[in-house]
Amino acid sequence: MKLIMTILCVVFMQVSGCASIPENQDQKTEKVIAEANKAVVFIKSAQMESIDDKGIKKQERGFGSGFMIREDGYMLTAWHVIGAPNAEIKACLQRKTTGRYGDLEIPDCRSAKIVGFDPQRDIALLKIQGSRYPTLKLGEDPPVGHQVIALGHPMGFLWTATVGIVSKSPLIQEDEYFTQTDASIYFGSSGGPLINTQSEVIGLLDKILVPNSAKAPIGISLAIPVGDIKILLPRLLEGGQIKHGSLHVAFGFINELDFQEMPADFRIHKISENVPGMLVVDIDPDGMSAKNGLKKGDVVIRVNGQMISNLIDATRLIYFQKPGTEVVLEVMRQGERKLFKTQLDQEPEADYNVASKSNPKK
C-alpha cells in the first residue's frame, strides 16, 4: 500500500507540477519588508474638536502611519494624520511576541511630540524619547517602472505591505505633484513609506484618488516625492511651521504653452518655443519681484543659476525656500537676457486644522 501511494504521489506531482509547497522565489522582497517594517510606525492622534451644548468636550481621533528616519527618535508622517499643533500623539513601533499561532506583531506605543510641520506639503516631523531605533534611509526620486513597496496600516491592519511599480512621476494635480504608484493603499496608509527594493524611502504615502462613482481605490496611489522630503527636512528639524517663499507671480511653463493661442500682448515679447522657462503671465505690483524689475511677459529661465522649466523646479527652487531669501533670476525679455536680484515674499499660509484623510470617519 505504501508503495502504491508513493507511485500515485509521483504521478500526481508530475501532472500537477506542484511537488511540494513552492519555495518563495522572491526571498529578497520578503526580507526587505520584514526589516523595513521594524521602522514603520503606527500613529494615533487626538485633538480637541469642540464643546457641545451640554458642555461635553468632543475629541477628533484618527490614525495613520509613519516611519523612523533617525535612531534618536525622529520620524516622518503626513501632516493630515496629526491635524493640529495641539494634538495628542501616540507612536507605536513593532514588537514581536510569540503566541499560540506563531509570531505576533504587538504595537509598542509611546507619546510623541511635533517638531516641525508643513501643512501645504502635508509633511510632519515627530519625535519620541529614546535611542537606537531602527530607521529607513531616504533614497532618490525613481523613474517610471521602478519596483516599489508600500508599507503602513490601511484601515488599521497593522504592518501591511503591498507591492507595485512607479506608474507616473510626477503626476501633477491641482498645482501639486506626486509620485504615482499602483501599489494599493487605503485610509490609514497616509504617512507611511513607499520604499524600493533596497529599503530606501522614495516617497511618503499621502492620498488615493477615488472617483465619486467608485466605491474603492482604483490603483492610483500618490506619494510625496523623496526629493521634496530631503529639501524640507532641515527646515522641519528647525521646528515650527514651515513658511514658504513666493515671487508673487502667476507662471505658465513654456513647454506647456500653445503658441498659436497665445494672446497678442505676449507675442510681442518675442518668446521662443525652444527656450525653457516660465512665462510671467501675471504679477503682483506690490510684490518684491515687481519692485525689483520683473515684468509681465518676462520668461524666467534660471533661478540662482539652476534651470527652471516645470512645476517641480519652481517648487523646489522658489516655493520651498524661506521668505526673505535673495534669489537671482535670469530672464529673457524681448529676446535679450537680463539678471534680476529679488527677495522672496511669503506665500499665504494654509489653515493647518485639516480633516484627516487617513481616517474612514473614525
8: number of Cβ within 10 Å: 10
Residue in the block written with cell 525613481: 142
269 in active site: no
Compute the C-alpha angle 103/138/207, nearest 5°. Answer: 75
- What is the dihedral angle through the alpha carbons of 315, 168, 165, 217, rounded to the nearest 10 degrees? 100
Q: How far out from the chain centre does Cα 136 lie?
A: 15
3-state SS class at 185: coil
In single-letter form, the type of residue at position 348 comes to: P
Q: Which three cell numbers stand for residue 89?
A: 500623539
80 in active site: yes
Q: What's the CA gap between 216 and 208, in Å, rounded?
A: 10
CA separation, residue 184 to residues 44, 153, 154, 176, 213 (Å): 21, 12, 9, 21, 19
Q: Which among 45, 65, 189, 190 is annotated as catalytic? A: 190
3-state SS class at 193: strand
Torsions phi, psi of 313, nearest 5?
-60, -45
CA separation, residue 50 to residues 44, 47, 264 (Å): 19, 9, 54
Q: Which among 65, 80, 153, 313 is annotated as catalytic? A: 80
248 in active site: no
Residues 6+ apart with CB under 8 A from 157: 188
Dihedral sign, Cα of residue 360, residue 351, residue 249, residue 289: negative
Q: Which among 122, 206, 228, 313 is annotated as catalytic? A: 122
Given the DSSP bridges, would you call strands 123-127 and 249-253 parallel, antiparallel or unpaired?
A: unpaired
- Comparing CA positions, the residue from 183, 178, 94, 171 lying closest to residue 146 is 183
- Catalytic positions: 80, 122, 190
